Structure 1
Amino acid sequence: MTLPLQAATRPTFWQISPLGKAIFYYLSAVAILVFLVGVYGRFSRYARASEDPFPRLDDLPARVVTAAGIVLSNQKQFDRDWVAGLWHSFVFWGFLTLLTGTTILGIDMDLYRPLTGDSFFVGDFYLSYSFVMDLMGLLFVVGLGIAIWRRYGVHMDRLWGRHTDSSDHLLVWSLFLLGVGGYLTEGVRILGTSATRDVSFETVSFVGWTVARAFEGAGVTPELATAAYPAVWWSHSLLALWFVAWVPYAKPFHMLSSFANVLTRDEKAGVRLPGVPADAAPEEIGPNEIDDFSWKQLLDQDACTKCGRCSDACPAKDVGRPLDPRDVILDLKRYREERDAGEAGEMPIIADGGTSVVDSETMESCLACMACMDSCPVEIEHLTSFTEMNRRLTESGQMDEHAQDAMMNVFQHGNSFGDPERKRPDWTDELDFDVPDAREEAVKFLWYVGDYPSYDGRNQEIAKALARVFEAADVSYGILYEDEQNAGNDVRRVGEEGLYEMLVEDNAAAIQDCEFDRIVTTDPHAYNTFMNEYPEFEACEWGEDDVFHYTQVVADLVETGALDVPTTLDYTVTFHDPCHLGRYNGEFEAPRELVDATGCERVEMPRNRKDSFCCGGGGGGLWIEVEEERKPSEERLREAVEDTKAGSGVEKFVVACPMCTTMFEDGRKTGGFEDELEIVGVTELLAEALNDGEVAASA
């Protein structure tokens, strides 16, 4: 006999006595209360921290929509690791579906039935519900199976570290047992109830049905299943209630803190850094104690899932420097929790040697490349915390001595070389034309040349090439000559906020004395700070739409026909994305278009665009000497000649950043790549193509 469709449903609290049902509801209330108390404790802790300098809850509806899109799509989980994205999507959507399904059942039992005397948990609704729950539950279990295999089977390095603890194991195994336990409970119920009713419709619960048939094949009778059901049900229910109560107190809290972190993120975090209050005393600059961090920085710590993506992406860690971005965030979190529990005494947050939460060498290793932030699936803003700690080192007189020397040079001479200001424009003397002075005539493009193209011999060649390109395009441009000073991007990131603000004032005054349409920079570091940070100061009257990197301007000249680049070059080249141009500011195509315009055959680096590997020069890396197994520049050049499609056939390594030029020229010598490839700037390729075109035309 086939059961009528409208009777298709399942018994709730089957084989559970009224007393057992009452106990279950009591324990559910306790679990929810413990959960709420824990959540309140977490968020009330943030209230004791410092205010965050940036608005975090402005335009809240738009923030909610954007955060929901990021979280629900799992887009950050797929970045750099599609397998992780896949299993996390299975687990995320499986968990969300099971939670929703449990909520629906509760609404039917505890609200709809008492109010109407009827149930909507029947017929088509029940059959659809059962199929979806079984399908998504299966994905949930499969996803957790993949996660378990990666953690314990292949033992992925990035999933393990000094902060790995019992909560990491409990989380993955408790969720897995919840998923499997749900199917065991369902299978036992289907088999047990088959003794008293037609359960043929339960085939829609295809996993539970399969489990029931497996039990039956193993010799389990409906009677035995009926007798065993209460024990199976209670095991599953108690585990679920324990998990609910446990969420705010350990790693599962990331299910809440991650969304909160994405919701309150600063879209320009790291690209722009918070300033220091004008009335702040030296001892108030940078964190002396844990509550000197802002509430958002504490939320960053709680949102960390220990996934290790930042560790894998960090170039400093890759080359053996004493920095692991994950460990820094978790060291701060552990210290805070131990302090709150009275298990740790006062100690400096950061210091040069001795006992501190974070050692100065760790922060000095940071290249401010933002690979950690780009790879983080929960939008942790590592660089803001790191910069705050660098400021503390600076204010306490513990900055690296080589960085101190560079800062003194910048303070006294406006450049990190310590050369006289009057020598800044000397590179123009070897050109066979005069470079216009933007202080004396109106120009379309105010070209900020920068320290390295002005004072470093190798980079001067790149500056000369760009000047020739501008001349060939017959554009209106000019430079500031000796009135130009260091832009300050990396000065700020090593912690010298006061000097940075002085540079902003001086550069802004010089620039605003000129008449121009656009600011054009040679250096992506200057491009970043002029575009994203200078406009926040009252001294500046330009906006982010007024600042360009030279590759953007020249690419536009090529596109509009103002500059005709002959396709005369036949080199096999690869292009390195500068961190401050690409990952920081999303410009990837302009330099590639220019390289392609010369006729070169361009092959991509395996790590390219926003996944590019830092040259090692950012964040003061040009000035600070750090012990390392190999230099980031050496690793990058090795990648070029070994891992690209062309391999050893790569003739030229193309760069669009003066700091990159310096670091890679050094790495080319120290890494033994002098006979394998040449370091060239994009402008040098363009100038060569233009020159070859002129020679061909004259012939």
Structure 2
Amino acid sequence: MFRPLDGAVPLATSKATRETYWGLTGTEYLTFYLFATIAILVFAYGAYSRLARYARASDDPFPRVDDLVGRVVSGTKTVLSNEKQFNRDLYGGLMHSFIMWGFLTLFIATLIIMADEYAVQKILHQPSAWVGDFYLSYQFVVDAMGLLFVVGIGMALYRRYWVGNHRLLDRHTSFEDDLFIWSLFALGIGGFLLEGLRIYSMGIPEFERVSFVGYALALAFDGMGLASLGPEAAGFNTGGLNVENLHWAIWWLHSLNAFFFIAWIPYAKPFHMLSSFANVVTRDEQAGKRLPNVPADLDATNAETIEDFTWKEMLDQDACTKCGRCSAACPAKASDRPLDPRNVILDLKKYRESLDAGETEEQPIIADGGTSVIDSETMESCMACMACMDACPVEIEHLKSFTKLNRQLTDQGDVRSSMQDVFQNVMQDGNTFGDSPRDRAAWAEELEFDLTDAREESVDYLWYVGDYPSYDERNKQVARSLATILQEADVSFGILFEDEKYDGNDIRRVGEEFLYVELAGHHVETWEDCDFDKIVCTDPHSYNTFENEYPELDFEEFADDPMMPFEYTDEWNADGEINVYHWTQAIEELVTEGKLDLTGTELDYTVTYHDPCHLGRYNDEYEAPRELIRATGADLHEMPRNRADSFCCGGGGGGLWMDFEEEPKPSEERLREALEDTDAGAAVEKFVVACPMCMTMYEDGRKTGGFEDEIEIVDVAELLVEAIGKADEANVEIAAAD
């Protein structure tokens, strides 16, 4: 045991404990609890104000608190594991884990002391449990986790101020961000300083070795020769600069900092500690892949005022931590389009709070010309790729708010003329090209066999071909390839010919909800008259909307509307009795069943594969296309950004029909990545896609980016049809890149 300092009396190791309010007078004790009460009341008022604001907001269309126990358990697992924080950012994951686990441990440790002092001693009149082995274990854990907490804060300070991480610095970065991180740092450091000063004043008792951080600081103070009057002189005294006076001053500064932080939580950035957990608990597992339906009431508004936003959308805004992960993942921002997902969410929050505080007047939520909260061009830039949602560690449902804003644009008639042309084409001709519905199956005329009319004959597979495979010359080759593959597998399949219309997925995300409902009603009514087992889609966008959105539609709400050309009133496929497939899933199933023989095929190509957003991030299908590519014998090399981290082609959310001044285009950046950043590098011959929109965007990017002589864009179906030796029958031209 170390020699006690002059005047200090060492504590017996068998009585290992410490005095909770060491050095405080009775008046100071009462003052402490007065401040504590004020802090708690200020916190409670702020929390109540937040909840009251959510209560005044619009109802959310999706169930958010059903199976609440299960939601809380699942949310707790997500939060405590920090799994989303580790996504694509090991440093950030470790940093946040250290801070959160350390903070929670220190908070629980404080609750234990309160329970011991009040519940055990004052209410139950039992001796303190905070002695001996329990005290020693307690002190060790608190020091260990407190150290992790300080290390985590140090990592955050390093990233923010030394490295200057670009994600963290933006127009919404403010003094509150600095105050938040420095307040936490002061709490961590202050706790250890108090511990070290107390141990030093007590004579550095042996049992306090378990408090290894405080013990080390006590030894440092001893080495510095800091004056001490001993534990009996604790508190403020006239002894000048000594350990006890320092302990007293730092104790009060530490306590006031803690009270300030508690009171501040509901009013600024610290509130994310509560709102983020609530946001994870109330998340919609299908957010993005399905969207809220618009009421049939034509007087209903979308985003005319801030009151149109639901309580969950406001919770999304409050849960945002300004971490910038969504911004870093956004392909629109990477291409210098005027969209930053974080800023849209925070702009809405800032406007709401300013309006509530009476600091600003009401203004349009979204419009053209800079007089609104959000500029129309910002939302037109969104590709609806869900990269922002996938990257968000607190489950903010960006796309739900973004679609609300786009619907408002459409209601106001503020969409681009090119999009208005698309809407007109769909209304008049049932397709986005404006071509005759009678020509919808003209692509099949070059096949060596006739396609079955699913309206007249029973089929196993009802094949929804889609707009681009039906009308776009390049994608017609994909349609013929897939038809040939299905024919070779000897399965029963058919199409709807002119009764097939555009699926509606992307015009819905641009905001044209009623036209989407019209298309959905037409399709489900047509399908009701057909006899089939499964729906197979060429396009992942069609697959998503049939699988996830048509079953959500309340057709009965619209059936009486004379503008709606359908009388269907049931819920379509609500029980999932009809299986909906992307074609790669259906063909992989046929290969597994032995109905399509790919054994022995060996295509001598070096290829890479691009995950379509609507197949991958939207619906978690990553392996079926890859299995088919591998089955052809092609040498598949993954790009660095693959699967959930895939980079959008730029065609989603209406991007296919809009022109942007962007550099580089998302498609050009992706092709550069394929040729420069994959393991095979420039040896990659073919860039393989599984989406007609991707095909269109990458063929364009191949030309504008100067990649025509370096790489070829092919669909998985085109690889397959060559592998089975049927490329000629499909009238598909297959050629390796020069």
TM-score when normalising by structure 1: 0.97
Aligned to 2:718: 684
Equivalent positions of 1:287-366 (< 5 A) are 287-366=303-382
Contact (CA 8 Å) 2:58, 2:311: kept in 1 or not? yes
1:254 aligns with one of 226, 250, 272: 272
Q: Which deviations, in whole Å up to 9, do the C-alpha atoms of 1:68-102 show, x marking residues without a partner?
A: 11111111111111111111001000000000001
Give the Cα–Cα distance (whole angstroms) in 2 for the partners of residues 12 and 258 of structure 1. 33
Q: Any idea what the Cα deviations from partners look like across 1:149-199, whole Å, max 9, x if unmatched?
A: 0111110000010000111001111101110110001000000111xxx61
The offset of 1:214, in angstroms, is: 1.1
CA contact (8 A) 2:481 2:727 kept: no
The equivalent residue for 1:615 is: 649
CA contact (8 A) 1:387 1:495 kept: yes
**Equivalent-residue separation in structure 2 for 1:250 and 1:65 (angstroms):** 27
Structure 1 counterpart of 2:270, which letter? P
Choose the corresponding residue for 1:163, options 172, 176, 185. Answer: 172
Quote how far apart the aligned CAs of 1:278 are.
Answer: 1.1
Are 2:255 and 1:230 equivalent residues in the alignment?
no
**1:567: Cα distance to partner?**
2.3
Q: State how 1:80-479 maps to structure 2 within 5 Å.
A: 80-114=88-122, 115-194=124-203, 199-223=205-229, 224-281=242-299, 284-479=300-495
Q: Write the distance in 1 (CA, Å) between the matches of 2:114 and 2:586.
A: 61
Q: CA shift at 1:693, angstroms? A: 11
Q: Distance in 2 between matches of 1:342 and 1:285?
A: 23
Tell me how far 1:499 sits from its aligned partner. 0.2
**Contact 1:451–1:486 (8 Å) recurs in 2:** yes
- Name structure 1 gaps, 5 residues minimum: none
Q: What does 1:552-567 correspond to in 2, within 5 Å?
A: 552-565=585-598, 566-567=600-601
Aligned residue for 1:244, secondary structure, equals: helix
Aligned partner letter, 2:253: S
- The aligned counterpart of 2:561 is none
**1:228 & 1:421 partners in 2: Cα distance?**
85
Write the distance in 1 (CA, Å) between the matches of 2:223 and 2:180.
33
Q: How many Å separate the matches in 1 of 2:39 and 2:119? A: 20
SS for the counterpart of 1:361 is helix
CA 1:280 to 1:167, structure 2 compared with 1: closer, same or farther past 3 Å?
same
Q: Going by fraction, where is helix more abundant, 1 or 2?
A: 1
Quick one: distance in 2 between partners of 1:567 and 1:645?
Answer: 24
Aligned to 1:15: 23
1:505 maps to which of 488, 502, 521: 521
Alignment partner of 1:530 is 2:546: yes
The corresponding residue for 2:558 is: none
Q: Which amino acid aligns with 2:200?
A: L
1:542 CA displacement: 2.3
Structure 2: 5+ residue stretches without partners: 2-9, 230-241, 556-567, 730-738
Please say if 1:55 is aligned against 2:55: no
Task: Tell me if structure 2 keeps the 8 A contact 1:5–1:124.
Answer: no
1:111 Cα deviation after fit: 2.3
Matches within 5 A, 1:481-496: 481-496=497-512
Give me the whole-angstrom Cα distance separating, in 1, the residues matched to 2:246 and 2:689.
69
Deviates more, 1:323-332 or 1:561-570: 561-570
Offset at residue 533 of structure 1 (A)? 0.5
Read off the aligned partner of 2:411 and give its amino acid letter: E
Rounded Cα–Cα distance in structure 2 between residues aligned with 1:400 and 1:627: 15
Identify the range of structure 1 (413-422 vs 17-26) with the bigger mean alpha-carbon deviation. Answer: 17-26
Contact 1:76-1:376 within 8 A present in 2 as well? yes
SS class of match (2:452):
coil
The 2-side partners of 1:523 and 1:63 are apart by: 33
1:70 corresponds in structure 2 to 78
Q: Distance in 1 between matches of 2:719 and 2:245?
A: 81
For residues 361 and 721 of structure 2, what CA distance do their matches in structure 1 show? Answer: 62
Give the alignment partner of residue 547 of structure 1, picking from 580, 583, 586.
Answer: 580
**How far apart, in 2, do the equivalents of 1:577 and 1:168 lie?**
36
**What is the number of equivalent residue pairs in this alignment?**
690
Stretch deviating more after TM superposition (518-527 or 49-58) = 49-58
CA distance in 1, matches of 2:720, 2:119: 73
Tell me if the contact between 2:484 and 2:726 (Cα under 8 Å) persists in the aligned partners.
Answer: no
Match of residue 605 from structure 2: 571
Q: In 2, distance between residues paired with 1:32 and 1:215?
A: 35
The one-letter code matched in structure 1 to 2:85 is Q
State the TM-score, normalizing by the size of structure 2: 0.92
Deviation at 1:663, TM superposition (A): 0.3
Q: What are the within-5 Å matches in structure 2 for residues 513-528 of structure 1?
A: 513-528=529-544
- Distance (whole Å) between structure 2 residues aligned to residue 21 and residue 665 of structure 1: 74
The SS at the match of 2:656 is coil
RMSD of aligned C-alpha atoms? 1.4
| CA deviation string 1:475-497 (max 9, x = no partner) | 11111111100000001000000
CA deviation vs aligned residue, 1:545-578 (integer Å, no higher than 9, x gap)? 6111000010111112111114220100000000
Pick from 629, 645, 665 the counterpart of residue 631 of structure 1: 665
Separation of aligned partners in 2, 1:48 and 1:642:
53
Q: Is the 8 A contact 1:613 1:636 kept in 2?
A: yes
SS at match of 1:116: coil
SS in 2 for 1:675: coil
Map 1:21-32 to 2 at 5 A. 21-32=29-40
Q: What is the alpha-carbon distance in structure 2 between the residues aligned to residue 12 and residue 525 of structure 1?
A: 63
**CA distance, structure 1, for counterparts of residue 507 and residue 129 of structure 2:** 65
**Contact 2:172–2:343 (CA under 8 A) maintained in structure 1:** yes
Larger mean CA deviation between 307-316 and 502-511 belongs to 502-511
1:662 aligned onto 2:696: yes
Query: How far apart, CA to CA, are the structure 2 residues paired with 1:498 and 1:688?
Result: 42
Point out 4+ residue stretches in structure 1 off by more than 4 angstroms.
1-5, 692-695
- Give, in angstroms, the shift of residue 469 of structure 1: 0.6
- The answer for the alignment partner of 1:39 in structure 2 is 47
